[in-house]
Amino acid sequence: MSDDTPALQVYQTGEVTVLGFGGQEILEQVNIADCREQITELVRQTGCKTLAFDLTGVKLIPSGMLGLLASLRDLGVDVQIFNPSDDVREVLEITKLDEVITVRHVDVEKEKERDS
């Protein structure tokens, strides 16, 4: 990953592969192409069917990341978003991404403990 790409935390909870940003903001200058490439490779390597993004602690996401989330459905995976901020939830509603991506609150720490 380039220095502009946030360090993604990856873990499994049941049949769901979860990507988290460690509560850090996703910067506007993140290289979306790098993220897409690495996430695509992860999906191919693991054969995951459900890919969730844990947005705990993330207040805003750049527009390029919204496009990335939408495009990941083309890989044949169910895309979910966990714990979006009110601002992110509002953007998902305005863009209607909440109609094609499952958005929900999840106690991530509890899920990690349950599956370890």
Q: Which residue has the tokens 């999906």?
A: 43
The pLDDT of residue 14: 81
Of 87, 79, 74, nearest in space to 103 by CA: 79
- Domains: count for the chain: 1
Residue 65 lies in a domain: yes
Residue pLDDT, tens place only, 10-65: 888 888 999 987 766 675 556 788 888 989 998 888 888 999 999 998 888 888 88
Residue 113: its pLDDT value, please? 60
* Any domain includes 2: no
Q: Does pLDDT of 1 surpass 80?
A: no
| Cβ-contact 15, 45 below 8 angstroms | no
Q: What angle do CA 52, 104, 100 make, to 5 degrees?
A: 70
Report the mean per-residue pLDDT for the chain. Answer: 83
Would you say residue 3 lies in a domain? no
Q: Which residue has the higher pLDDT, 115 or 56?
A: 56
CATH number of the domain that 78 lies in? Answer: 3.30.750.24
Instruction: Tell whether pTM > 0.85.
Output: no
